[in-house]
Every structure is written in C-alpha cells, then in structure tokens.
C-alpha cells in the first residue's frame, strides 16, 4: 500500500460562515451591472449549485468509511459549508425565477449529467467531485483575486459570490484528500489516469453546459444569435476573461505531485474575513453535519 503524504496545511480550519444574502431587498433582474451576459453566466452557474453540491457531499460521504480523524472532521465541515451554500443559492435561484428567468432547462441538464456519473460507481463520483471542486476553487481564487469579475454587480449579490468563493478555497483539499484516502491501494499511474480522464470529461461538459445555459438565459432576455455568442465569449475569454485566466491553474491538475494546497491562497480568505467583520452576526448557530 502506498502511503500518501497529504499537504493540506495542518493548521487549516474549515469554518462554516452561516450568512444569508438578499432576503430583504430584491436585486434587479440584471443584477450584474445591467449586463445580460455577465448576469447570465453567474445565474447559469448558480442554477447548478444546489443539485451539484448535494452530489459532491453524497460522493465524498460514500467513501469516507475508516477515514483518519482529521479528514473525517474536514469532511463534516465541508458538508456543512456545502449545505449552507445550497441554501443560499437556492434562495438566489428563486429570486432569479421571481425576476422572470426559467432555470428549469439548466437544472434538468445537471440532473442528466449526474445520472450518468452516478451510474459509474463511487470512485468515478469522487473523481468527478474532486475535478469539479478544483474547478470551483480556481474560479473562486480568480473571483477574489481580481475585482474586475464582480465590478458593477449589486453589492449584496456580489457579497454572496465572494462568501461562497471564500469557503470553496477553504475546503478545496477535502474531496482531493478523500480521493487519496479512497484509492490508497491504487498505483500512482492508475490514480493519475482516472483523475486525468475524468477531469477532461468534466471540463468538456462544464464548458459546453455552462455556455449553453448562459446562452439560454440570454435568449430569455431577448439576446440571441451571433450577438449573444460574441457578448458571452468576449466576457468569458477576453475581458474580464474568467475562463482564460483559470487555464494555467486548471493545467496544474495534471502535473505529477499536484495537490490543491500546493498553492496556499489563504491570504484571500483573510482579506474577505477582514471585510466581512462588519457583516451582521448569524442569527442562528451553525448546525454541523453528522
């Protein structure tokens, strides 16, 4: 059996921040600076979270049996964080629906993808979760590191995205470490092969589905055809270019010796927490996952 050295920082604390967003005042339909394409891509991402994050939790929990105590604790904190994210994005998606968007096609697509993944068994599920958690973590890093991505967005909605990004960075190693634990008897080659194949598959689906989802929402705003493609592709790949800017970090996943915590970006969390100090205290205690 190979023994894995887990480079997750020993002093990392995964702390669910039980915050609520957008309950008091309605944000405008085009909450992202009045821009159709910017609102559409964030709304498309949000439509996947409640279903997707429940799947991540289910996948990690399915293989956690016998995990060492530190990892078991991290899985609990991860579960709690994802459950709160789902609650907040569910509320966000309801507001988008109230503003007139129909997200049902987008949600249905996620369900279809997950049905295919689930049929492939628990290792495939953890591999898909680990790949998507890497995606979320590098998107989160970019979102927090570069203010251009949320420029012009309505304040509280922007705060929801920063809060979520922050916790995604904090728990970015959990699915990965769970995978290392679950596949501890596999050879390095087999691990790499499955991990790389699943990442390529997940990336293709992610790019195709989120682009299609955003175009569908833009269509609901009356923007279609070449104009829609031009606006969306420029936003994602040219300026502020979220997808282009995460490419180098995405590529690192394939390097031998990769681990999400090879890059310690906790300074971004510290900056967020310092700004959020003025945020109202949560009114309810965080109920930790079992």
What is the contact surface with Fe ion in residues (CB under 5 A)? 82, 85, 168
- Name the residue number minimizing CB distance to Fe ion: 85
First to last CA, the chain: 29
Cis before residue 212, ω within 30 degrees of 0? no
Residue 94 vs 193, nearer CB to Fe ion? 94
Measured from the Cβ of residue 257, the count of other Cβ atoms closer than 10 Å reads: 8
Q: SS3 for 239?
A: coil
Min separation Cβ 129 and Fe ion, Å: 9
Residue 37 vs 168, nearer CB to Fe ion? 168
Separation CA 65–CA 178 (nearest Å): 10
Residue 78 vs 243, nearer CB to Fe ion? 78
Min separation Cβ 168 and Fe ion, Å: 5
Min separation Cβ 198 and Fe ion, Å: 17
Separation CA 117–CA 129 (nearest Å): 10
Residue 154 vs 168, nearer CB to Fe ion? 168
Min separation Cβ 123 and Fe ion, Å: 19
Min separation Cβ 136 and Fe ion, Å: 5
Cis before residue 240, ω within 30 degrees of 0? yes
Residue 46 vs 183, nearer CB to Fe ion? 46
Separation CA 94–CA 102 (nearest Å): 10
Min separation Cβ 75 and Fe ion, Å: 12
Residue 152 vs 282, nearer CB to Fe ion? 282
Q: Are 64 and 178 in contact (CB under 8 A)?
A: yes
Nearest by Cα to 86 from 125, 115, 117, 57: 57
């Amino acid at each position: 059996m190979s023994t894995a050295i887990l480079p997750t920082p020993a002093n990392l604390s995964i702390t669910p921040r039980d915050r609520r967003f957008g309950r008091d005042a309605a944000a405008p339909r085009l909450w992202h600076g009045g821009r159709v394409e910017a609102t559409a891509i964030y709304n498309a991402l949000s439509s996947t979270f409640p279903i997707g994050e429940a799947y991540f939790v289910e996948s990690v929990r399915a293989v956690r049996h016998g995990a060492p105590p530190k990892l078991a604790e991290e899985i609990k904190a991860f579960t709690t964080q994802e459950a709160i994210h789902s609650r907040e994005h569910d509320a966000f998606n309801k507001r988008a629906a109230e503003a007139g968007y129909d997200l049902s096609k987008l949600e249905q697509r996620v369900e279809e993808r997950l049905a295919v993944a689930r049929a492939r068994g628990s290792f495939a599920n953890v591999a898909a979760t680990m790949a998507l958690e890497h995606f979320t973590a590098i998107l989160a890093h970019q979102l927090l590191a570069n203010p251009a991505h949320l420029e012009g967005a309505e304040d509280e909605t922007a705060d929801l995205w920063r809060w979520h990004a922050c916790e995604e960075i904090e728990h970015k190693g959990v699915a990965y470490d769970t995978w290392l634990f679950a596949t501890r008897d596999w050879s390095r080659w087999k691990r790499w092969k499955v991990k790389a194949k699943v990442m390529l598959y997940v990336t293709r689906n992610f790019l195709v589905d989120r682009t299609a989802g955003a175009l569908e929402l833009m269509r609901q705003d009356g923007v279609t055809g070449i104009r829609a493609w031009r606006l969306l592709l420029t936003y994602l790949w040219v300026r502020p270019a979220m997808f282009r800017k995460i490419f180098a970090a995405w590529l690192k996943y394939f390097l031998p010796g990769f681990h999400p915590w090879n890059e310690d970006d906790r300074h971004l969390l510290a900056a967020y927490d310092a700004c959020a100090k003025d945020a109202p205290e949560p009114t309810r205690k965080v109920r930790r996952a079992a």
